[in-house]
Amino acid sequence: MLHIVNKSPAERNALESCLRVAQDGGAILLIEDAVYAATRGNAAENHLRDAMSRFKVYALAPDLEARGMHERVMEGVTTVDYGGFVDLVAQHKNCQSWL
Amino acid sequence: MASIEVNGKSYETDEEGYLINLADWTEEVGNYLAQTESVVMTEAHWEVINFLRDYYNEFQIAPAVRVLTKAIGKKLGPDKGTSQYLYELFPYGPAKQACKIAGLAKPTGCV
Amino acid sequence: MSEGTVKKFMFVNRKAPYGTVYALESLEVVLITAAFDQDVSLVFMDDGVFQLKQGQQTKGIENKNFSPTYRALDGYDIEKLYVEEESLAARGLTEDDLLVDVTVMSRAELGNLMEEQDVVLSF
């Protein structure tokens, strides 16, 4: 299952709830303000690093670039463009958007 | 805002003639609304109208036709719990027409 | 939808009832979905569990109290209501505080159930 998160971890609990409920082996795609969670030095960094042993974590490059954060992506996070976003949706049986 | 007048009193409605304020409803208003729908009210009609009002008071929604049919069958007997019976009473649709006469808003999902 | 293809639809409710319109919108979509005879389940987690809190009285805020409508779901053949255990506990609530019968489940059970769905809709 693909989990899509679009809210900053500092503002909303969407990522936290996603990590709490999501089953091992799934994928997490961070888009819009959620890309801040995938950057070095953010308060949710360790949380996300722990999650990487259970999930594959992706972040949307255009959203990172727009926010000037593309140089600060944590190691282990795979960045994808819009085409990659579509591929991820197509590769998974179902997906859940954590609003 | 549109309105209707019953016994010298004015009541707000939407453009389709549904009452805006549920609390405005009286039996006279119900009768007036039935006339606008060309429905001649009988005891059988009132049974459904009263059922709808009770349902609304309990659940705060007007039921979908399928739900109404099933619930009527349970409460008033299986011979009345058919869409045929309800359409005979309210030819333009039990949910739509009966809800209007009962002073309820148009049911969710009802076009 | 074509006949015979029943899909699993899960509605995930994560917002408190009156601060935003999500809860009401979700409920309306659920009621409409009921007409299509699909396998529908509702999940309440995070602040979404507040939607089911007993004793809501909205007169003072001049909002419609739509909480009684959750009790109508049974009549719409929507019987799968799931509440996440941790979300309840984190808000000082228990099953007895809720206005409908629900199945309380752990985050792992909920996660498994989510995996099984054909469509997951978030509110």
Digitized pLDDT (tens) for each residue of chain A, 99 residues in all: 999 999 999 999 999 999 999 999 999 999 999 999 999 999 999 999 999 999 999 999 999 999 999 999 999 999 999 999 999 999 999 999 999
At B109 the pLDDT is 57
Q: Which CATH architecture has domain C8-122?
A: 3-Layer(aba) Sandwich (3.40)
> Which long-range CB contacts under 8 A does C53-59 form with residues at least 24 apart?
C53/C93, C53/C97, C53/C98, C53/C99, C54/C97, C54/C98, C54/C99, C55/C99, C56/C17, C58/C18
Considering the domain boundaries, does residue B88 fall inside one? yes
**Catalytic residue list contains B99:** no
Percent of chain C with pLDDT over 70: 98
Kindly tell me whether chain C and chain A come into contact, counting contact as 3+ Cβ pairs under 8 Å.
Answer: yes
Distance from CA of B64 to the nearest CA of C (A): 8
Contact status of C19 with chain A (Cβ, < 8 Å)? no
Write the pLDDT tens digit of every residue in B35-55: 999 999 999 999 999 999 999
The domain spanning residue B10 has which CATH number? 1.10.10.370
Euclidean distance between CA atoms B11 and C59, whole angstroms: 22
Residue B72 lies in domain: 2-101
ipTM score: 0.89
C-alpha torsion sign, points B54, B58, B64, B66: negative
Considering the domain boundaries, does residue B107 fall inside one? no
Band of residue B106 on the pLDDT scale cut at 50, 70, 90: confident
Considering the domain boundaries, does residue B111 fall inside one? no
What dihedral angle (degrees, nearest 10) is formed by the CA atoms of B56, B62, B66, B67? -30
Kindly tell me whether chain B and chain A come into contact, counting contact as 3+ Cβ pairs under 8 Å.
Answer: no
